[in-house]
A = this chain, B = another copy of it.
Amino acid sequence: MTSEDGWSLDLQLARDTTTVGDLPLCQVRLIDDANYPWLLLIPRRRNVSEIIDLKEGDRAQLMREVARAADVLKTGTGCHKINVAALGNVVAQLHVHVIARFHSDPAWPKPVWGFAPPQPYDDYVRTKLIAAIREQLAIAK
């Protein structure tokens, strides 16, 4: 039995996002909001809502994967700042936000949550963005 047994993605997280792919620990998803290039990293572990619910090795891996995602967003978008956050007040399943922020984005310099209504992606733009992120993260489709 692996630690992934019985893990399934929270339905609300699934609804607001599109799959990018799997890193060794986390499922990577793109938030469906064209206001910000915004990834979610969700460790594929059951019954985990806090970082401290993860075992130490998984925590270390989470940091490596967050750094990888941050690096890809920073390099790929040329953003001014990366925001990283594990909040989880609404959806309990542990998920880490990694967000590319620009001085020109709708919420800058405030945090993004609850600020501007989500802006739908043009399908072509989203597909290209996800393909680019997949390639940079070296995630197979």
Identical chains in the assembly? 2
> A133 near B: Cβ within 8 Å?
no
> A131 near B: Cβ within 8 Å?
no
Other-chain residue from B50, B62, B86, B101 in contact with A85 (beta carbon distance below 8 A): B86
Contact B81–A51 (Cβ < 8 Å): no
Contact A113–B114 (Cβ < 8 Å): no
Among A52, A67, A114, residue most surrounded by chain B Cβ atoms (within 10 Å): A52
Contact A50–B63 (Cβ < 8 Å): no
Which parts of A78-133 form the interface with B (CB within 8 Å)? 81-90, 101, 108-111, 113-114
Contact A50–B62 (Cβ < 8 Å): no
Q: Mark A45-59, 1 if CB is under 8 A from B, else 0.
A: 000011110001001
In the complex with contacts A89-B81, A109-B90, A67-B59 CB distance below 8 A: yes
A-B interface, 9 closest residue pairs, ranked by CB to CB distance from nearest: A89-B109, A85-B85, A63-B63, A84-B86, A83-B87, A52-B70, A111-B113, A90-B109, A52-B71
Contact B108–A89 (Cβ < 8 Å): yes
Can you sample 27 A-B contacts with CB below 8 Å? Answer: A50-B81, A50-B82, A51-B70, A51-B82, A51-B84, A52-B67, A52-B71, A56-B67, A59-B67, A60-B60, A81-B87, A81-B89, A83-B85, A83-B87, A83-B88, A84-B85, A85-B87, A85-B111, A87-B111, A89-B101, A89-B108, A89-B109, A89-B110, A89-B111, A90-B109, A110-B113, A111-B113
